[in-house]
Structure 1
Amino acid sequence: MKALITGSAGFIGSHLASALFERGHTIVLVDIVNGHDARDLFRDDETRYDAVFHCAAVAPHRSAIDNSPATVGAGCLELDAAMFAWAARTKPGRVVYFSSSAAYPIALQSQGLAVRLGEGHIRLDAPERPDAIYGEVKLMGERLAQAYRAQGGSVTVVRPFSGYGQDQSPDFPFAAFAQRARRREDPFTIWGDGTQVRDWIHVDDVVGAVLAAVEQDVDGPVNLGTGVGTSMTDLAKLFAAEAGYGPAFDYRTDAPAGVAHRVCVPYLMESFYVPEVSIEEGVRRALA
């Protein structure tokens, strides 16, 4: 297989690249941090790829989403629109579009509801308000994917929940917590009140599920998650216990914290891939 990965120097993109390389595929890597802007490729390149993994995005972490919404939203929308226009022209074998759990209605993610989010909770013909402009952009990306499919294109839409791993940027909470635990910080800082619940899925399982979906021609949309919720405070406690100390927790309620509860129904994913790495094992790997 000849595959293109955009955003190949990013967290998900770099892990996908490693997995595809290990499987013997030919891969073309494009990332702006390495001097290769995906928008230039989409404008000029006429190569037909067997698979395209579109991971390129602009700062998709909580701080940027809340504090620089125009930059994040406009940048991601530009990349997604250019990619689908290019795909319609060059007709790759299959496109993988990385949507996001941010596309789900925020009304279902409020304090006290504890709704597990299934793929059917998003109706592209009548979408409810998602999480910030970033969620709006991901909804538009899914609608572009729908239009591309209607024109005969093959596209897999995935909705990752809280992906994590030991080499993730500290702009994301899991990696930030790992750094604090390594330094044995006391007090241990947590953004928000600590009750925010997330569905943590290890990057190895994100990659494993994506490749299984491509191999089995799964169109999706499909949630990538475990169906298990862990609060920010409980995650901090796991890190502290693994690091062997008992800090106090400093809750920064003025910092960006996101929605109260975001956990998926993973049944569709589990029909072709079952996650292997628990959050406890992920914490152990991060501090090993």
Structure 2
Amino acid sequence: MKVLVTGTAGFIGSHLALRLLERGDEVVGIDNLNDYYDVTLKQARLARFADHPGYTHVHADLADRDAVEAMFAKHRPQRVVNLAAQAGVRYAAQNPHVYVGSNVTGFLHVLEGCRHHGVEHLVFASTSSIYGANTAMPFSEHSSTEHPLTLYAATKKANEQMAHSYAHLYGFPCTGLRFFTVYGPWGRPDMALFLFTRAILAGEPIKVFNHGRHRRSFTYIDDIVEGVIRTLDRPPASNAQWRGDAPDPATSGVAPYRIYNIGNEQPVELLRYIEVLEQELGRKAKMEMLPLQAGDVPDTEADVSDLVAGVGYKPEVSVEEGVARFVEWYRGYYGA
């Protein structure tokens, strides 16, 4: 199978591309290698599979309509996984136009490519941030997501709605995956685990928001990738029964469309997460206790019963195992 993966220099995209290549798929990857964070890390991720005979790289921005159209016309992928997006929840407050260009306009170009080139299935990244002001736990795909608290979450909400409209109008299956706090080797330097590790090793204080009392469904990267692949292999079918009176947000009633959570069902308090990191590093953290940041939610907890029913899988790597693997990678990569 030929799979287009957008964002292959990114954290999740690079892990996914490598797994697809290892199982024998042909992968076309697109990434603009922007400088939002360390470009050398992105290049190092790509270097793990750039010379693989099944991999083709396209250096382009999804916001470049002509480039995306040319890529679809030339490579004609059978299936697409859209992971490229401007990352960073809080960065959106500083650069909102960048977010809309990448996350909304860029996604439109992907949808158009799928529409015009017979793509069998589009899987796209959404986020647990989409639950916003919803406080009913655990977060369920069948609950309302009408009140996002950040622009980043709003762009992902837009992606879900755009995908549904295209699935309905043009009949190609679309599946959105709401990722919950992904971490692991080759992760993003702006994420908490990376920031904490760097600071603790340097003897510097770490900023602990909400006094460390909020909980997250921390989800290890291998669990995320397994969920993406299983979903990619199972396109949703359309439902001929019109349910316009009370449509289900997760399944639609008129389109080959589906939404799944991918997250660890066992949320962990941030202070425990830090404690596990301290144990792996063999050092205590100096903590600067701060209030909850604007736009953050106190807790996230994933309901993955639909993922289990739909693709037969749920994330299970514990934070103890996942953080240990991250620290091992970090020390090896940075010589720390």
Same-fold status (TM-score > 0.5): yes
User: How does 1:162-201 map onto structure 2 within 5 Å?
Assistant: 162-181=181-200, 183=201, 185=203, 187-201=205-219
CA–CA distance in structure 1, aligned partners of residues 157 and 294 of structure 2? 22
Does residue 217 (structure 1) correspond to residue 245 (structure 2)? The answer is no
Please state how far the C-alpha of 1:278 moved relative to its aligned partner. Answer: 1.1
TM-score by length of 1: 0.88
2:59 pairs, out of 27, 30, 35, with 35
- In the alignment, which residue of structure 2 is the partner of 1:287? 327
Equivalent residue letter for 1:136: A
Give the superposition deviation at 1:14: 0.5
- Which residue, out of 141, 148, 152, partners 1:119? 141
SS across alignment from 2:212? coil
CA 1:129 to 1:237, structure 2 compared with 1: closer, same or farther past 3 Å?
same
Q: Pick closer, same or farther for the CA change 1:141–1:188 going to 2, 3 Å.
A: closer
SS in structure 2 of the partner of residue 167 of structure 1 = coil
CA RMSD of aligned residues (A): 2.1
Aligned to 1:50: 78
1:93 alignment partner in structure 2: 120
Give distance in 1, aligned partners of 2:4 and 2:294: 34
Output the CA distance in 2 between the equivalents of 1:257 and 1:243: 30
2:7 matched residue in structure 1: 7
Q: 1:18 aligned to 2:36?
A: no
The Cα offsets for residues 101-145 of structure 1, whole Å up to 9 and x where unpaired, read as: 1211x2224xxxx621000113xxxx5211311111111111111
Q: Give the conservation status (yes or no) of the 8 Å contact 2:134–2:147.
A: no
The separation in 1 between residues aligned to 2:273 and 2:202, in whole angstroms, is 15
Q: Which residues of structure 2 form unaligned runs of 5+?
A: 34-57, 237-256, 329-336
For structure 1, which runs of at least 5 residues remain unmatched after alignment? Answer: none
1:278 maps to which residue?
318
Alignment partner, residue 140 of structure 1: 158
Counterpart of 1:153 in structure 2 is: 172
Q: What amino acid does structure 1 have at the position aligned with 2:133?
A: A
Q: Distance in 1 between matches of 2:322 and 2:81?
A: 24
Is the contact between residue 62 and residue 256 of structure 1 (CA under 8 Å) also seen in structure 2? Answer: no
Residue 84 (str. 1) matches residue 102 (str. 2): no
- How far is 1:259 from its partner? 1.3
In structure 2, distance between residues paired with 1:138 and 1:159: 9
Task: Output the CA distance in 1 between the equivalents of 2:271 and 2:293.
Answer: 15
TM-score, structure 2 as length reference: 0.76
